[in-house]
Structure 1
Amino acid sequence: MQDASAWGASSPDRDARPASVGAKRGLAALPLVATASIPATDPDCTERLCAALGPGPFAKVFLFVTAEADLAALTAAIGDCFDASVVIGCTTAGEISGAGYAEGEIVAVGLPASHFAVDCLLVPDLTAIAAQDLIGETIRRRTALTAQSPGFDGEFAFLLVDGLSTLEDELTSALAPGLGPVPLFGGSAGDGIRFGETRVIWQGKALSNAAILTLVRTRARVKVFNLDHLVPTGRKMVVTEADPKRRIVRQINAEPAAREYARLLGKDPAQLTTFTFAAHPVVVQVGGRHHVRAIQRVDENGDLIFFSAIDEGLVLTLAEPQDMVAHLDRELARLSEDGAPAAILACDCILRRMEALEKQKYGALSQVLRNHRVVGFSTYGEQWNSMHVNQTMTGVAIYAPEGEAE
């Protein structure tokens, strides 16, 4: 049983004044949300990234790092720009930069200390979560951050978690009571399409089997959202044999899982690919809303391995996608009905990216992301309030405070 002192901690960062490459050149006006991206192959990528991000001071800097990067070198070098406690991040299954969908890049997002107050909590071992300790520590951090940030009335929580831990469902469930009314979004760290090794970045170290909860209070207006472009059909199936701990489905409708899924689609089981799963997801109904239970891959024995929680007796419904370009543009436009956000920080499922590639809509989706100032990364799953979900985009839209220009 862990006590609260076992949780990794960083103190509230609003009053921190970390030095950066930009700061050494003199102060300059920062945007409400500072963003930058650099190819990971650039030999001076860390210094150029820090310079592009701006002078700070930052309450927090998020790094979304391609799986192609030298993570050890990056985490060591970033200390030359910022205090290690200011920087957190994760590896990705693709990045979202100012150009839209990107590959092979390091994306940085900085929250200026003038408008944001931040506290972070490390969950160092996802296999040993002590729920009551975690709830108590989260409440204490929330209370302290609120007291130290008068006038910072906007708030949200941002979660980064090891995407191969298979423990996101347990973690979000444990965090929910401590967060109370604070809206949460987040993403599971990725490893491109290899599914081999995923990491979160904490105080200059790259960690596995860990998660980082960031509590944010801000003078800005914020809106946490979750969206998907999927419509349930009338075709249903029942999980009749499963290994819930490993997210494996062995039988559907009392038949071998992959073969039965393929039969319902009218496809050859041997032709099932990640693109198939992205184009023909299955959903479950929870609380009056359908949520995707995305299939990651087919095992050699015909089992289906899922990205999120699965169990025997669960009724799955096949879903069909709407036009994802039109849908994303429409949903993001709704976030601008009362004024366009300065930036949208988003976690976007890898299956959405793969569907865009399969349907040759990658460029069009990138344009939509650019138009709406979306930055972030592609994930192995998304967190939204108390749930771990798949094949969605979830994030936070950040607006200038009332009466202020961006």
Structure 2
Amino acid sequence: MCATKTKIKSDVADNSFDTDILRTAHINCSNTSPVKYLKEQLGTDKLGLVMLMVTPLVDFADIVAQAEEMFPDTDVVACTTAGEISSSGYEEGLIVAIGFPEGDFATTSLLIENINDLDIQSVLSEIAIERIALQDRPLDMPFDFAFLIVDGLSLSEDTLAATIAPALRDVPMLGGSAGDGTSFQQTYVALNGVICDNAAVLTIARSKYRTRVFSLDHLEPTDQRMVVTEADPVKRIVKTINAEPAAREYARLVGKDPNQLDRFTFASHPVAVRLGDSHHVRAIQQVNENGELVFFSAIDEGMVLTVANPKNLADHLRQKLQELSKDEAPTNIIGCDCILRRIEAEQGQQSREMAEILADHKVTGFSTYGEQIGPLHVNHTMSGVAFYRN
């Protein structure tokens, strides 16, 4: 557990009226002094927390250093992305900022290091202490949620989410795995100037405004199943399916040429595992040089995978976001959207329509290498939190 703590903040807050509960801004990474611009665009309210979703096309360390200078008395959580979601919808090459006004939110953030060799008791104790301290503060903030950002190449998101969620008790958790575009080489998270890989940042927030944590996916399981017969669970590699070479057998089952499997194939022909009464996608990242399948999330021998068929991505997103607005439209939504959804939209020529839907519903966030919802690390979903004034 890193010693980095929440920064000490003034009790005085500037609560200038705004129709949005959150403050959001974005800028192209090619601009000079981007964080200075973002601070200006976030307005004059005193912010208790700023989240930065940073394109991998820019020097992450430089952006984090600028943020420390621009927000000296504010907690700053940052991560690299697999694409950004701004007020214009799907984007690339941006730095996106989300500000939480101090008069409307109370937050605490923890940096959890070495997550593939986790000191579980230490982490659980620290989370419990911070959660109780936040709840004991005499504030009229009855709504809460937790946001977990994880190194998307750590191979540890499943264990981490399952460990953290129970310690939060009744605080609902969502989150996303930091990305590196489609390069899959290096991902980072940061808290208050401390940059780490193989790490996560957990933010626990209380709000005076109603919040709703959600997860959505547009996939329907079919009757077509396959069994993982040989795997390396630590590296999330499936070597054989149905006792046949994994990539070749997967290609046969989905009717594709094994020599032409790519990210578009995996996005349009996902596989899922049944957990209780529901299915959760176990997304394929790539085929390695041995003809094995590398996954984004936990996999093991004996696991039964089901081929899933996607519904219309844009129609489904529109429907689900409209449902979030059934009684009242949220002023803002933070979304963690799987990179495979973006790839599927590109393949289906729905990128523009998806971007318009996200923009219409005021979704801000980033494309991820995986999503967290409660104790689960999942793929091919959007996890998020909506904010309501009433």
- The whole-number CA distance in structure 2 between the counterparts of 1:55 and 1:195 is 37
The answer to whether 1:113 aligns with 2:108 is no
Partner deviation per Cα, 1:149-187 (whole Å, 9 max, x = no partner): 422110000000111000001111111221111110000
Equivalent in 3, 12, 24 of residue 8 of structure 1? 3
Measured on the aligned residues, the alpha-carbon RMSD in Å equals 1.6
Determine the structure 2 residue equivalent to 1:68: 57
Query: Per-residue deviation at 1:147?
Result: 0.9
Instruction: Check 1:280–1:16 CA distance in 2 against 1; reply closer, same or farther (3 A cut).
Output: farther
Return the letter of the residue paired with 2:361.
Answer: H
Query: Per-residue deviation at 1:29?
Result: 3.9
The answer to whether 1:323 aligns with 2:312 is yes
TM-score (norm 2): 0.97
Partner deviation per Cα, 1:254-307 (whole Å, 9 max, x = no partner): 000000000001111001000000000000010211000000000111000000
- Give the 3-state SS of the residue equivalent to 1:78 in structure 2: helix
Equivalent in 345, 362, 365 of residue 334 of structure 2? 345
Equivalent in 191, 195, 202 of residue 206 of structure 1? 195
Q: Give aligned pairs, total.
A: 389
Instruction: Check 1:332–1:13 CA distance in 2 against 1; reply closer, same or farther (3 A cut).
Output: farther
- The whole-number CA distance in structure 1 between the counterparts of 2:335 and 2:369 is 13
Determine the structure 2 residue equivalent to 1:263: 252
The answer to whether 1:190 aligns with 2:179 is yes
Equivalent pair of 1:13/1:117 in contact (CA under 8 Å) = no
- The whole-number CA distance in structure 2 between the counterparts of 1:212 and 1:363 is 32
Determine the structure 2 residue equivalent to 1:141: 130
Query: Per-residue deviation at 1:94?
Result: 0.1
Query: Per-residue deviation at 1:79?
Result: 2.5
Greater CA drift, 167-176 or 354-363: 167-176
Partner deviation per Cα, 1:375-404 (whole Å, 9 max, x = no partner): 00000000010010000000100111x3xx
Determine the structure 2 residue equivalent to 1:40: 29
Query: What does residue range 4-403 of structure 1 map to in structure 2 within 5 Å?
Result: 6-11=1-6, 15=10, 28-30=16-18, 31-83=20-72, 86-400=75-389, 402=390
- Give the 3-state SS of the residue equivalent to 1:8 in structure 2: coil
Equivalent pair of 1:8/1:123 in contact (CA under 8 Å) = no
TM-score (norm 1): 0.93
Query: Per-residue deviation at 1:49?
Result: 1.1
Which structure 2 segments of 5+ residues have no match? none
Percent identity between the aligned chains?
48
Instruction: Check 1:131–1:205 CA distance in 2 against 1; reply closer, same or farther (3 A cut).
Output: closer
Return the letter of the residue paired with 1:48.
Answer: Y
Query: Per-residue deviation at 1:14?
Result: 6.7
Return the letter of the residue paired with 1:155.
Answer: D
Which structure 1 segments of 5+ residues have no match? 1-5
- The whole-number CA distance in structure 2 between the counterparts of 1:9 and 1:77 is 18
Partner deviation per Cα, 1:66-113 (whole Å, 9 max, x = no partner): 000121221111223202651111000000000000100000000100
Query: Per-residue deviation at 1:46?
Result: 1.7
Query: Per-residue deviation at 1:8?
Result: 3.1
Return the letter of the residue paired with 2:85.
Answer: I
- The whole-number CA distance in structure 1 between the counterparts of 2:154 and 2:71 is 29
Instruction: Check 1:316–1:16 CA distance in 2 against 1; reply closer, same or farther (3 A cut).
Output: farther
